[in-house]
Chain A
Amino acid sequence: MARRVAIDPVSRVEGHGKVTLMVDDDNHITEARLHIVEFRGFEKFIQGRPYWELPLVVQRLCGICPVSHHLAAAKAIDQIAGVDQLTEAALALRKLMHFAQVLQSHALHFFHLASPDLLFGFDSDTAKRNIVAVINHHQALALHGVKIRKFGQQVIEAISGKRIHGIAAVPGGMNQPLTAEKIRPFQQQVGDIIDWCDDTVQTVKNLYLRNRPFHDNFGTAPAAFMSLVGPQDQLELYDGELKVVDPEGKTTHRHPCPQYHTLLKEQVKSWSYMKFPFLSNLEPETGWYRVGPLARLNTCSHIDTPKAEQRRQEYINTLGTPVQAPLAYHWSRMIEALHCAEAIKKLLENPALLSDDLLNQGNKRREGVGIIEAPRGTLIHHYRINDDDQVTMANLIVSTTNNNQAMNESIRKVANEHLDGKTLTPELLNLVEVAIRAYDPCLSCATHAAGRMPLELELRESDGKRLQSLLRNSDGNLVHAD
């Protein structure tokens, strides 16, 4: 008789999710469902608002990567304001803010959320597998993590006035320049930040290679990849064209951003508020793809900062290309962090950051599409306005939504290999979470924000009768209820 296993909720990801495993009579996982059960409704309630308010409203989607939403919306409203080209100063400020955002978010994910799994092992005691243990046992690493994140946040604060939910981008540009006094401390610190990021890339590489066969195989389900790339196919986080490579690494699409809707379609499923995007030339079952650092290092041909490029070559020479292993997300994520640190150093030397020439103007349009590479992957904001400058339509495809089916596939793979069909174990629960966490999902962006939650694993028959339940409370205690 078919059964259903539920893990509810998932911890140490941003937000609140629940996992159900559909099990057949032979104990094979036929389907994995990462449920997004909370509703946010931003696309609806911003209708009627004036378009210039969008970067400020939609950044409230998230407290981890608000800058990404702020800038994606800003790129869309630039087009509505009729501005196709920002001033050099505005572009430099936006890019600096964006690199700082990706740097701080990657640092948060690796050091605070993922490093406990990687440093102590996936099967270590959950009560001791957390950031506090990292601080106790790997003091230098933890300290670097905190300082890297702080540096990124301070750059954001210098530009927008706040580390989270500041005010910076306006239609056609930015509102205020930087000052030499604000820039100076960053110029003094950025060398250390680059060194620490480089050290961390080495640490992640060592951790990955320590048990490479396991890491290569863990949750690996071959898929296509999508991201922005620059004109020379370089890694590009702020602007560019959408590029898709197939599971073998062959380029299948190079697509202009304003026509994203001809590249992608979205499917809705009754059991989740998160949609399922897929490539429009394929079916939903075969057209899913992955985004984020893993995807970006598979789609780009090079990185235009030297240390990160050296680390990228080392990464692809070791793992081959395209890299399919979800656990390689951690490695690619820290290569990107290194790139961001190097890019920040270069931008801090740009005198345009001090210029008052921050705004361009143009002829009003009714529609704008802003696409940016957020820390977790491609982020799409699409708006239409009416004659009265009020938003009439909004479509947001956030990074985690792009990875929706990919996460389900990785969960299914992990559960198939590690589920003992007769017994629910904390070990299985941990492994499913590790697979989800590799994608650094932000379920708050996708739907809803919540704190750390207890975690429940349920075994049910297809008729809904509960056979077994394993609950892990937020204090780490396990409770069995049969």
Chain B
Amino acid sequence: MFQLDGNPIAFSKGDSILQAAHKAGYYIPHLCFHPDFKAHGSCRLCVVDVKGKTVSACTQPAEDKLEVYSDTAELRQSRLRLIQLLFAEGNHYCPSCEVSGNCQLQALAYDLGMTHYHYDPFSPLRQQDGSHSQLFIDQDRCIQCDLCGRASQEQDLKSVYLLAGRGQDTHLAFRSHNGQLGSTNASMDDRAAHICPVGCILPKAGNYPDIAGERLYDKIPIHTQGNHRRDEGGQDEP
């Protein structure tokens, strides 16, 4: 057992703090974590306070008698700033985005009370990739969580998607001779095509399936129903 914000949490051997918390019904905000794939620890939204140090809950193993704090004013503020940085870093135009209402980034922004960017937007110029017959890549919305990369490598056994470049130049890339998705063996049936938490990897058919008000996060906030994709079903709880 360990303590999360004063609540006792049971865990199994090998569980991270985040996994144990979710099993016990406590939500810790996150974007790059998915229970089916190796933890990445890169989005930093799941940072918690352990013995005065901030660590990512998705990579920190749960230990007996740990005192972990997640729902503190300081951490809520840090998470809000991280979300604002993600919005400022890409080009996120929710009003016309087809995953608006189903987007985990947007849902967390609402959850954390984001009302503005706070940081000056980078407004980067990014090339979209429509070269694949069934999939469209909107680089403007990529948050570099590498979930597609991990799904492609660990489950699809293809390694189509990867993060290339360093620092501010880090970007989503595709393993092909010309760098285009259409020249890879990516498929609509791949798990990687259905794992993106935002609106970066999109199908070319069946877009905008729901009217406003009936989308995933329109009525139930993300801290209640967890991180889901509309076409993925429940994978991550709560």
Contacts and interface: CB of A to CB of B under 8 A. Distances in A.
A186 to B, nearest CB: 16
Interface in A382-403: 386, 388-390
A162 B210 CA distance: 12
B96 A166 contact: no
Chain A residues touching B, majority SS? loop
B213 A161 contact: yes
B202 A50 contact: yes
A390 B130 contact: yes
A159 interface: yes
Contacts of A388: 129-131, 182
Contacts of B130: 50, 386, 388-390
Contact of B96 (A56, A168, A175): A56
A53 interface: yes
Nearest to A57: B96
A444 interface: no
Contacts of B73: none
Nearest to A385: B130
Place the interface of chain A in its size category: 20 to 34
Interface in A145-171: 159-162, 165-168, 170-171
A82 B56 CA distance: 49
Contacts of A162: 212-213
Contact of B210 (A52, A53, A175): A175
Contact of B208 (A48, A52, A165, A386): A52
Contact of A175 (B95, B138, B182, B209): B209
Given A165-B95, A388-B131, A390-B128, A50 B136 contact: yes
A160 B212 contact: yes
B207 interface: yes
Contacts of A171: 207
A60 interface: yes
Contacts of A53: 96, 98, 207
B157 interface: no
A167 B210 contact: yes
A410 interface: no
Nearest to A172: B205
A52 B99 CA distance: 13
Given A389-B130, A389-B136, 9 more contacts: A50-B207, A159-B211, A160-B211, A161-B212, A161-B213, A167-B211, A168-B211, A176-B211, A388-B130
B197 to A, nearest CB: 19
A167 B102 CA distance: 13
A52 B136 CA distance: 11
Interface of B: 95-96, 98, 128-131, 136, 138, 182, 202, 204, 207-214
Given A166-B211, A166-B212, A176-B211, A48 B96 contact: no
A299 B96 CA distance: 36
A216 B204 CA distance: 54
Nearest to A159: B211
Nearest to B130: A388
A389 B204 contact: yes
A49 B140 CA distance: 11
Contacts of A386: 130
Most chain A beta-carbon contacts within 10 A, residue among B98, B204, B207, B211: B211
Contacts of B128: 48-50, 390
B182 to A, nearest CB: 8
A159 to B, nearest CB: 7
A72 to B, nearest CB: 16
A394 to B, nearest CB: 14
B211 A175 contact: yes
Contacts of A57: 96
8 contacts: A52-B207, A159-B211, A160-B211, A167-B208, A167-B210, A167-B212, A175-B211, A386-B130
Given A170-B207, A175-B208, A175-B209, A161 B214 contact: yes
A167 B101 CA distance: 11
Contacts of B138: 50
Contacts of B96: 53, 56-57, 60
Interface string A17-57: 00000000000000000000000000000001110110011
